[in-house]
């Protein structure tokens, strides 16, 4: 059937809810909208589903959620009765329809004889990850679209280790989902099944989570002396981080002034343009409050509280938003410094970062004698390293981070945790206050010690049903283009992550990267800088990453401008092929 036939089928199906029928009737004369909604199926990728809320096969709605959950249920049933008894834990954030989608997923699981634990109120990603491990469930579901605009929602699946489901199991779940051809036909639980199999997540899980985080504190003396009088501003940006972040700060003795207007669970995120705390504009209300009370640091979490954004007052007296790379550098430096000062830095300590994250991490790790590992983009790959080392004992995980404002200390969770990152951020402010300096001043000291590194990523937006295909085609085109330099910056190696091959440009010799495969091209430059191009796995954007090493900020900015111009020319030549 073509998209028009599928649209008519949905519209005339008596099982379609009144809201869906009304919404689809309203677009009957809009062929472009009908094609968008029914011309494709919402892709179930490595991060699950994510799309605009609305009715249709290519949208986030109760029917796409139920279909995905039926596929997950079929997968769980192949694992046996014990897996069904262990069940699935479900959490959700403050987005529109998040609670409705969570209960719809629980209902489908129950209809399949699978136990479902549902949080009684919004809870963030890290607490879902922790709950999977704490309750020993076979899987987890998180209803969220992370930091996407308010029109979006999503559905993320977690494995029994608390990390996002691995590619092998995801492929199996996808196979079962694709067999569910009747979108409106997912089974519904009866009252007996609901009463027997749908349970609230015990409140003890929250308490255990906070106890796990308290064990990760690093500067008790500084917190004891400075914590109560600390001038620090926090905003949850209307998301699920409000209760957990303020709770853990209170438990460790740190005072933070909260942006009250942004504590409300507002699915429209009405005080910001987008709920992404990486942007200074998203933190603007926090910055205004910081100016009022004389604070030097503002931090905020996104709707599902797995990302942390930070703004600091610089030496000019102005607030500047730090990049995810800069926050990662600060936290890495702080964690390793404190562990070493207290004689608690393990001899086999390891740090894990995504390969698109700042090159400065290696210099910091080298100074402290810590091994640095690089993995593909996606926090599940950091989780894989933790799991591996728990089995073989070769390394001790101390910190993991991604440039997209995702950080994890501890092994209580296997995904980005903005709650523990908020705790560490606040504690770090205390520590430097105790030492008589600001966070901004410490960042400047780091640049002086290791040299300046300017990290920037640029996103090119794609539109339409073929967006993902078009983005991947660009990356594939780059693989066929021989590149020896970007302006005056020579390329030393080219990594093709889709084939796990690293090529030395000067000799043509190849060697394995030793990484899981993903569609990405990475250019190592001779001076230690890098350029990387990859399609986003969660939204229709082609992402270009630059990490530029230079003596000064001015030199780095000049070099970045030249690199960007050279990359633009390269992309145009690929498009012209």
- Nearest in space to 423 (alpha carbons), one of 325, 290, 308, 312: 308
Question: What does the radius of gyration of the chain's CA atoms come to, in whole angstroms?
Answer: 24
Instruction: Report angle CA 368, 355, 301 to the nearest 5 degrees.
Output: 85
Contacts of residue 361, defined as CB under 8 A and 6 or more positions apart, other chains included, come to 328, 329, 332, 351, 353, 372, 401
**Rounded distance between C-alpha atoms, residue 121 and residue 132, angstroms:** 16
Contacts of residue 161, defined as CB under 8 A and 6 or more positions apart, other chains included, come to 132, 133, 383, 387, 414
Distance of CA 378 to the CA centre of its chain: 7
Element (H, E) at 333: helix 324-341
**Rounded distance between C-alpha atoms, residue 438 and residue 415, angstroms:** 29
User: Among the options 73, 98, 129, 146, which is catalytic?
Assistant: 146
Phi-psi region of 238 (alpha: psi -120 to 50; beta: other; left: phi over 0): left
Q: Helix 418-434 and helix 125-135: axis angle, to 10°?
A: 110
Query: Is residue 300 helix, strand or coil?
Result: strand
The phi, psi pair for 547, rounded to 5°, reads -130, 110
**Rounded distance between C-alpha atoms, residue 407 and residue 325, angstroms:** 10
Determine whether 270 is an active site residue: no
- Residue 369, exposed/middle/buried by CB under 10 A (0-12, 13-18, 19+)? exposed
Residue with tokens 């209307």: 238
**Rounded distance between C-alpha atoms, residue 86 and residue 557, angstroms:** 53
**Rounded distance between C-alpha atoms, residue 305 and residue 301, angstroms:** 5
Give the catalytic positions in this structure. 146
């Amino acid at each position: 059937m073509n998209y028009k036939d599928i649209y008519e089928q949905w519209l005339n199906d008596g099982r379609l809810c009144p809201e869906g029928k009304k919404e689809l009737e309203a677009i009957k004369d809009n062929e472009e909208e009908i094609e968008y909604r029914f011309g494709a199926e919402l892709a179930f990728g490595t991060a699950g589903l994510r799309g605009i809320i609305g009715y249709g096969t290519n949208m986030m709605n109760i029917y796409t959620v139920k279909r995905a959950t039926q596929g997950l249920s079929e997968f769980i049933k192949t694992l046996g009765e014990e897996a069904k008894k262990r069940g699935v834990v479900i959490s959700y954030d403050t987005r529109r329809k998040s609670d409705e989608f969570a209960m719809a997923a629980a209902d489908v699981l129950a209809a399949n004889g699978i136990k479902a634990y549902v949080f009684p109120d919004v809870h963030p990603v890290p607490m879902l990850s922790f709950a999977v491990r704490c309750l020993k469930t076979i899987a987890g579901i998180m209803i969220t679209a992370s930091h996407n605009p308010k029109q979006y929602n999503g559905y993320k699946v977690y494995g029994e280790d608390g990390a996002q489901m691995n590619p092998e199991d995801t492929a199996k779940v996808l196979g079962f989902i694709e067999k569910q051809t009747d979108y409106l036909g997912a089974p519904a639980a009866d009252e007996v099944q609901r009463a027997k199999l749908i349970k609230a997540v015990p409140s003890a899980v929250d308490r255990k989570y906070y106890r796990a985080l308290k064990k990760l504190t690093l500067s008790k003396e500084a917190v004891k002396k400075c914590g109560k009088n600390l001038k620090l501003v926090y905003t949850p940006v209307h998301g699920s981080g409000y209760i957990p972040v303020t709770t853990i700060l209170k438990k460790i003795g740190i005072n933070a002034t909260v942006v009250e207007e942004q504590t409300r669970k507002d699915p429209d995120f009405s005080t910001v343009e987008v709920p992404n705390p990486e942007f200074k504009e998203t933190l603007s209300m926090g910055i205004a409050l910081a100016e009022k009370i004389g604070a030097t640091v503002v931090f905020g979490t996104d709707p599902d509280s797995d990302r942390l954004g930070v703004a600091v007052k610089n030496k000019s007296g102005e607030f500047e938003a730090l990049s995810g790379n800069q926050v990662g550098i600060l936290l890495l430096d702080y964690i390793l410094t404190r562990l070493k000062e207290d004689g608690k830095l393990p001899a086999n300590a390891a740090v894990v970062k995504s390969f698109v994250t700042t090159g400065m991490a290696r210099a910091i790790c080298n100074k402290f004698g810590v091994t640095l590992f690089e993995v593909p983009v996606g926090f599940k790959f950091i989780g894989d390293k933790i799991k591996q080392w728990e089995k073989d004992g070769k390394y001790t995980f101390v910190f993991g981070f991604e440039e997209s404002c995702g950080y994890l200390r501890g092994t209580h969770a296997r995904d980005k945790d903005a709650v523990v990152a908020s705790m560490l951020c606040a504690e770090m402010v205390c520590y430097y206050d105790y030492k008589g300096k600001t966070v901004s001043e410490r960042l400047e000291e780091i640049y002086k010690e290791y040299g300046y590194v300017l990290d920037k990523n640029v996103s090119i937006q794609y539109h339409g049903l073929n967006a993902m295909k078009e983005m991947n085609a660009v990356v594939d085109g780059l693989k066929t283009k021989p590149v020896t330099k970007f302006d005056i910056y020579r390329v030393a190696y080219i990594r093709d992550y889709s084939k796990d091959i690293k090529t030395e440009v000067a000799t043509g010799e190849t060697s394995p990267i030793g990484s899981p495969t993903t569609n990405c091209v990475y250019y190592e430059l001779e001076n230690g800088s890098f350029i990387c191009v990859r399609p986003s796995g969660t939204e229709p954007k082609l992402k270009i990453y630059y990490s530029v090493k230079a003596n000064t900020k001015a030199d780095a900015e000049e070099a970045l401008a030249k690199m960007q111009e050279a990359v633009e020319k390269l992309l145009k030549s690929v498009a012209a092929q």
